[in-house]
Structure formats: C-alpha cells, structure tokens
Amino acid sequence: MKMKRRALLALLVAAGVGFFGEQSAQAYDGEFFRVCRLNPRGDNYLSLRTCPSVRCREIFRMGPGTYVRSIYPEPRRGWWEIEIMPRQRGAGLTGWAFGRYLCTAPAPPDW
C-alpha cells in the first residue's frame, strides 16, 4: 500500500511539474521594416510571395519605403512573413519577402 501511495504521489508531482513548468505562449506584436536597398536602375520593387521562395507565386510588388510588419519573430531561410501596413498600396496583404531588402524601422506612433 505504501508503495502504491509513493508511486501515485510521484506521478502527481511529475504531472504537476509538467503542467506548471510549461511556458505560456506570448503574443508577438511584430517587428517593423521598410522596403530598402532596391536597385533603382533595376526592377525597383520587392515581391511579396505566397511562400518563402523565388519559385512561389508573386502576390504584390512593393516599392521603396513600403512599411511592413513581421508576423513571426524569426525569418525562414532569410525570408520574413510580413503584412503590409495600413495607408499605403497593398495595405493588409500578407506574404513572404526576402529579408535582404527589409530594413528595420521604428514603430509608427499612429498605427
């Protein structure tokens, strides 16, 4: 009987540690970027794509200075999943953009 109680107690403690030891998910508000480093003598736009690859379908073409917000805290193989910020062409669209052409920007005070 004593052995069963110890086993049960050990099981409850282990379950409690797992339950209370887990970290809760925290909300990610996004990092702000502007489209930058484009070649004005070239295409002069950054493609917003359906997935993180040049082989994926183009959704939209973002010009220099387009303000975007990241959806996840880390890029995937150099690609950021982003959303185009309000009050500009393409506002609200989401997709993937290559990080080489995204420069960090301060959070806009009025968005």
Q: Which two tokens stand for residue 104?
A: 């960090």
Torsion of CA 37, 43, 46, 48, to 10 degrees: -170
Give domain 27-104's CATH architecture. Answer: Roll (2.30)
Q: What is the pLDDT of residue 17?
A: 46
User: 96 - beta bridge partners?
Assistant: 49, 81
pTM (2 decimals)? Answer: 0.74
The band of 2, judged by pLDDT with boundaries at 50, 70 and 90, is: low
Is a pLDDT exceeding 70 seen at residue 111?
no
Q: 57 and 49 in contact (C-beta within 8 Å)?
A: yes
d(Cα 60, Cα 51) in Å, to the nearest integer?
Answer: 13
Q: 48 and 35 in contact (C-beta within 8 Å)?
A: no
Amino acid symbol at 57: R
In this prediction, residues 61-65 reach a mean pLDDT of: 97
| pLDDT digit string, tens, across residues 10-56 | 555 555 544 445 555 678 889 999 999 999 999 999 999 999 999 99
For residue 80, give the nearest of 98, 105, 65, 93 by alpha carbon. 98
Q: What is the pLDDT of residue 85?
A: 94
Is a pLDDT exceeding 80 seen at residue 69?
yes
Least confident of 8-22, 37-51, 70-84, 90-104: 8-22
